[in-house]
Amino acid sequence: MKREIYDEDHEAFRSSVREFLDREVVPHLEDYQSAHALSRDFWLAAGKQGFLGLEVPEEYGGSEAGDYRFNAVLTEELAKVNMTLPSCLGIHADIVAPYLVHLTTEEQKQRWLPSFCSGELLTAIGMTEPSGGSDLAGLKTTAVKDGSDWVINGSKTFITNGYSADMVLVAARTAPEKKARGITLFAVEATREGYSRGRKLDKVGQDESDTAELFFEDVRVPEENIVGELDNGFIHMMTWLPQERLGSAVTNLAHARQILDETIHYTKDRKAFGQSIGQFQHNKFLMADLVTRVEVTQAYLDQCVLAHTKGELTPIDAAKAKWWSAQVQNDVLDHCVQLHGGYGFMNEYRVARAWRDARVTKIWAGSNEIMKELIGRDLGL
């Protein structure tokens, strides 16, 4: 089905992203995989291309597209290569960016944004803790005021870009008695005394990303490192989570769509019992089913992207987009593995890696159960 949300400018941008990926990224994919991290050269090249500053005003080094469809195009093209690229780049440029653009003082903008856009200041966001991620309001990391500084103690886990980040946006409890109303966001530079990283976590998929535990032992940060309002961090996170969930949804579907296309080609070539495996009615119907599911989901997501571009996307619609796309992606990829037979279980095949990479999408960015909880609550249940 023809998609109507993009115009010539978006498509020209898409071509430039593709060209960048072919030239600067695809040749290095194996290196990222063995290093369990994207290289700093990747970040600097993406910065040079203007891909890290789509949300950032020009005066601070960004390109301030002012149109979320450019973010969506970038995400789609990254996801066609693999799931890790949009996840890592998205954390920095799509998830942390709005906090640093919309909640910061002029001094903070000047301090952080130019190097954020160039890729010299790589960022991560630390919400999840070893004791739990779904119940964000129950987080245990504390920040206690001492003179004009704040002293942070606690730990975070599963942090994307965590191992290589130069600065982490950390959610910490500043008023224990106030629960959700007592959380504040702090920008913590990796050079601060008392800050340390654990090893790169050994994951089932997304081998190219450096996911890490972070530890804070009496980490002292000045008041000037508070991002947004004191004690209002939970509300700030709730405000920007819909963009995170939409970005996840766009990734999920673009990734599934790409692997499904490749699988359809495979089923035309692969023979069994003297015919292409795609010609067996069972497989033909299966692929008709999967293609339909992908296209119908695309129509919903496109409406969400448009709504977000106009500033009208609700948290509930973003939650629907996130859980549904993650489910569709996982269903599609499981069938794609099956259609590849034994090759589908071999890591040297893209489909196998894509399947491993996708499993987490039902867990992160708010688990699918939490998304349904939000939707159910909105129904008055």
Ligand X SMILES: Cc1cc2nc3c(=O)[nH]c(=O)nc-3n(C[C@H](O)[C@H](O)[C@H](O)COP(=O)(O)OP(=O)(O)OC[C@H]3O[C@@H](n4cnc5c(N)ncnc54)[C@H](O)[C@@H]3O)c2cc1C
Give the active site residues.
Answer: 244
**Cα angle value 72/318/8 (rounded, 5°):** 25
Structure tokens of 226?
């508070």
Residue whose token pair is 């994951």: 203
Residue among 124 and 319 whose Cβ is closer to ligand X: 124
- Going by DSSP bridges, is the β-strand pair 123-126/149-160 parallel, antiparallel, or unpaired? unpaired
Q: What are phi and psi of 228, to 5 degrees?
A: 85, -155
Residue among 161 and 298 whose Cβ is closer to ligand X: 161
Q: Which of 127, 152, 169, 319 binds ligand X (CB under 6 A)?
A: 127
Can residue 133 be called a binding residue for ligand X (CB under 6 A)? yes
Inter-residue contact 109 to 100 (CB < 8 Å)? yes
Helix (H) or strand (E) holding 220: strand 211-222
The residue whose Cβ lies closest to ligand X is 133
Residue 180 CB, shortest distance to ligand X, in Å, is 15
Residue among 36 and 80 whose Cβ is closer to ligand X: 36
Task: Name residues contacting ligand X, limited to 212-251 (CB under 6 A).
Answer: none
Q: Which of 101, 170, 370, 374 binds ligand X (CB under 6 A)?
A: 370
Helix (H) or strand (E) holding 167: strand 167-173
Residue among 23 and 377 whose Cβ is closer to ligand X: 377
| Piece of the chain touching ligand X by CB under 6 A; list 126-134, 252-260, 268-276, 320-328 | 126-134
Buried b / exposed e across 39-55, counting CB within 10 Å, b at 16+?
Answer: eeebbbbbbebbbbbbb
Task: Name residues contacting ligand X, limited to 166-205 (CB under 6 A).
Answer: 203
Alpha carbon distance 213, 219 (integer Å) = 15
Residue among 88 and 253 whose Cβ is closer to ligand X: 88
Helix (H) or strand (E) holding 159: strand 149-160
Look at residue 67 and give its three-state secondary structure. coil
Can residue 160 be called a binding residue for ligand X (CB under 6 A)? yes
Report the helix count and the strand count for the chain, using DSSP H and E: 12, 10
Q: Which of 37, 74, 159, 183 binds ligand X (CB under 6 A)?
A: 159
Inter-residue contact 197 to 214 (CB < 8 Å)? yes
Structure tokens of 195?
């800050």
Residue among 294 and 358 whose Cβ is closer to ligand X: 358
Alpha carbon distance 238, 70 (integer Å) = 23
Q: Contacts with ligand X: how many residues (CB under 6 A)?
A: 22
Residue among 70 and 323 whose Cβ is closer to ligand X: 323
Interhelix angle 315-339/281-309, rounded to 10 degrees, is: 150
* Cα 84 to Cα 25, 39, 134, 284, distances in angstroms: 12, 13, 22, 30
Structure tokens of 75?
């995400």
Task: Name residues contacting ligand X, limited to 340-369 (CB under 6 A).
Answer: 360, 363-364, 366-367, 369
| Piece of the chain touching ligand X by CB under 6 A; list 21-29, 35-43, 131-139, 235-243 | 131-139
What binding mask, one character per residue, do residues 68-107 give for ligand X by CB under 6 A, x or -?
-----------------------x----------------
| Piece of the chain touching ligand X by CB under 6 A; list 152-160, 185-193, 301-309, 338-346 | 152-160
Structure tokens of 144?
């206690």
Inter-residue contact 161 to 123 (CB < 8 Å)? yes
Residue 280 CB, shortest distance to ligand X, in Å, is 36
| Piece of the chain touching ligand X by CB under 6 A; list 2-10, 52-60, 115-123, 156-164 | 156-164
Can residue 158 be called a binding residue for ligand X (CB under 6 A)? yes
Q: Which of 231, 331, 373, 378 binds ligand X (CB under 6 A)?
A: 373
Can residue 259 be called a binding residue for ligand X (CB under 6 A)? no
Residue 5 CB, shortest distance to ligand X, in Å, is 28
Inter-residue contact 358 to 333 (CB < 8 Å)? yes
Residue among 96 and 256 whose Cβ is closer to ligand X: 96
Inter-residue contact 124 to 160 (CB < 8 Å)? yes
Residue 315 CB, shortest distance to ligand X, in Å, is 15
**Site residues, ligand X (CB under 6 A):** 91, 124-128, 132-134, 158-160, 203, 211, 360, 363-364, 366-367, 369-370, 373
